[in-house]
Amino acid sequence: MLYIFPTDLEAQRFREISPDSRIVVSGVGMVATAAAIMHLVQRGDITPSEVVVLAGVAGAYGEDIAIASVVEVVEERCAELPQRFQQRYVVEPSTALPSVVSNTVHGNGAAAQGAEVENMEGAALFALARECGFRAVEIRAISNRVGESFEKWHLSEALDALTQTLQTLKL
């Protein structure tokens, strides 16, 4: 299993408790994530039998999902593309975590349009999994409400919950 985190901060706690895990920091956003994954595929570090787990924080639309909840994203959409170019990437749930729909965004605050959370990398993972044939799992811990300023985020709580969940994850 390969774990991809967008930032060192998101990876740090899991790296400390699971030093033998294969961990890659991709960078923030779809472009950085796609480039990192393609590099791994081209080097042979991701094969069709591989399970690739993208793990990090996400913002929740509304109040239905509690801060520090951990969810599995089973559908990703590129929210900021014109409707005629939007893709939906759907995977089967791999865990017993609550399944959610997510918007992949470039910034903060895209309209929910039926999504429950937003992040900045997930669509890239699912698109490349579809094209390259590996199994993708996306796990997110809720750190904030969409639109909140960064000062109001609950990063520490979310990263603690994410790390605990990843430590017990069976795929």
Of 98, 103, 104, 109, nearest to 139 (Cα)? 98
In this predicted model, what pLDDT tens digit does every residue of 64-100 receive, in sequence order?
Answer: 999 999 999 999 998 877 677 778 899 999 999 999 9
- Integer Rg of the chain from CA: 15
In this predicted model, what pLDDT tens digit does every residue of 115-152 receive, in sequence order?
Answer: 999 999 999 999 999 999 999 999 999 999 998 999 99
As a whole-number percent, the residues of the chain with pLDDT over 70 amount to: 98
pLDDT of residue 109: 65
Q: Which domains does the chain have, with CATH numbers?
A: 2-168 (3.40.50.1580)
Residue 153 · residue 143 · CB < 8 Å: yes
Quick check: 108 pLDDT over 70? no
Query: Which residue do the tokens 């939007």 mark?
Result: 86
What band does 158 get if pLDDT is binned at 50, 70 and 90?
very high
In this predicted model, what pLDDT tens digit does every residue of 37-71 receive, in sequence order?
Answer: 999 999 999 999 889 999 999 999 999 999 999 99
Q: How many CA atoms lie within 13 A of 52 on its CB side?
A: 32
Separation of alpha carbons 25 and 36, rounded Å:
8
pTM of the model: 0.95
The sign one gets for the Cα dihedral 51, 56, 60, 66 is positive
pLDDT of residue 111: 79
In this predicted model, what pLDDT tens digit does every residue of 9-34 receive, in sequence order?
Answer: 999 999 999 999 999 999 999 999 99
